[in-house]
Amino acid sequence: MAKIMVQGTASSVGKSILVTALCRILKQDGFSVCPFKSQNMSLNSYITLDGKEMGRAQVLQAYAAGLEPEVFMNPILLKPTSDKKCQIIVKGKVYGNSTAMEYHNMKLRFKDMLKSQFEELEKKFDIIVMEGAGSPAEINLRERDIVNMGMAELIDAPVILAGDIDKGGVFASLAGTMLLLKADEKKRVKATIINKFRGDLEILKPGLTMLEDIIHIPCAGVVPYFRLDLEDEDGAVEFNKKITAPIDIVVIKLPHISNFTDLDALKSEEDVSVRFITTKAELGNPDLLIIPGTKNTIDDLITIRDSGLMDAVKKYSDKGTILGICGGYQMLGNSLIDPNGVEGSCDKVEGMRLLDIGTLFEDEKITTRVKARSINVKTSNVKTYGYEIHMGKCIYGQKAKPLFEIYDRNGDNTLSFDGAVNEDGNVMGTYIHGVFDGTEFREFIINSLRVKKSIKPKRSKTYESLREKEIDKLADIVRKNIDMDMIYKIIGIEKREKPFEVGTVNN
């Protein structure tokens, strides 16, 4: 079976986006293609149609391949809860919580499962495009590696090594990585790609020749630096801090912020600025304040309380509009109770008391895809969709009114409530991640902000169609700047006679 693996000299060198591009290019060329990352570490996760959890990077890669995201594309997901601890998700379900050392010692027990998962994919698709994690030159992790060369060896995959020139030192990082690989690992590396290049390529070319002479591996291409409206890797995201448009939306950048992709659809609105803050001095007077999801709600709530930002938020709530998502929703309530230590060592903390709800943390993790309609707001029956990932149970007080009525869970008809809204209607909360992806609810929220500022209401664009155009633009950029003939040779499959015509993307 044809396969190729993109590894990198470090985290955030662009492995994920290169895999995304290759998935779309190969799909355009007429192949059935599937992304695969054996182990991902991320606080950005997603719930599949069958209620399983996976990393967001593989979700974007699935879309690029023309597929519905499924958990076999990312069998192991690690969600950090602190510098040394994480929650382990295996095949979409919680496996347990462990320290870094505990997980390091248990990794090899997953090898058979990973190989089996990959072999099943080989039966279904023409080409598998794999992604490594971090760097294969992390020699302290080599013995138990299941995501870089260890995975490549397990299923006999050829490797492309990517380096980031924007940070500087790309030749040293590529040569140094090769130096630290074992002899059999070096043989797997068939080409390099230099990513995020700015400048005159003619000036760079002598360096490429010298690098090839040093490591004896050809360069498959130099990809220019670009900016597209696509999801970023956790470590690569740039959190904007400036007001750049008439509608000012502020997001609190929590220490353990998760699923910040919830805000991507808002960025697609031309007159909307989304900026991230960490201090009360940065708050200002925004049109909307969003408290996003977090992997550690209680610790993050204590952090913003101690910084004084909580008091600033409570003062802002007198006149401003606030929306909390998942952990942010829990923070808006009266109290957060954690009798079993799900969140950490603190078993109870007082919330902001802006919504009359309480949160009780339980051991069971809720992972569902939902469809919902708004209630108890000025315009009811505004539809949205998304997914739930939480371990907290909401307890409504007498003054709390639900924000949404959920009518579909994982494809089954249902009737239940989600979220809450205060009596004045200006403070809202929901467990639904991706709540702005649907056009109706996003349009309702943004138009209400426009009206307050005497800005003419607008129709919102479908986020999915915008994402598809951006993926096509990405594929176009990468196709123009790498040697696809070399890539096909590495994959071990013949290029189709009539490949996709470069430059046909609609701008």
Active-site annotation holder among 86, 326, 390, 394: 326
Exactly one of 86, 219, 256, 433 is catalytic; name it: 433
Cβ pair 148, 107 in contact under 8 A = no
Q: Are 183 and 216 in contact (CB under 8 A)?
A: no
Q: Is residue 219 flagged as an active site residue?
A: no
Is 433 marked active-site? Answer: yes
134 φψ region: left (φ > 0), alpha (ψ -120 to 50), beta (else): left
SS3 letters across 161-222: EEEECCCCCHHHHHHHHHHHCCHHHHHHEEEEEEEEECCCHHHHHHHHHHHHHHHCCCEEEE
Q: Which two tokens stand for residue 168?
A: 């500087």
Residue 77 DSSP one-character state:
E
End-to-end CA distance of the chain: 35
Between CA 240 and CA 275 the distance in angstroms is: 5
Distances, alpha carbon 139 to alpha carbons 183, 214, 484, in Å = 14, 21, 31
Return the bridge partners of 224, or none: 197
Distance (Å, rounded) from C-alpha 237 to C-alpha 411?
32
Q: What is the 3-state secondary structure (H, E, C) of 247-260?
A: EEEEEECCCCEECH
Q: What is the CA radius of gyration of the chain?
A: 23
Q: Compute, in degrees rounded to 10, the torsion defined by CA atoms 451, 453, 456, 458.
A: -70
What are the E-state strand segments in 9-92?
A: 33-36, 39-41, 45-47, 53-55, 76-80, 85-90
The two structure tokens encoding residue 317: 């709530």
- What span, in angstroms and rounded, lies between the C-alpha atoms of 228 and 82? 31
DSSP reduced 3-state for 450: helix
From CA 80, how far away is CA 75, in angstroms rounded?
16
Q: Report, as residue numbers or ranges, the catalytic residues.
A: 326, 433
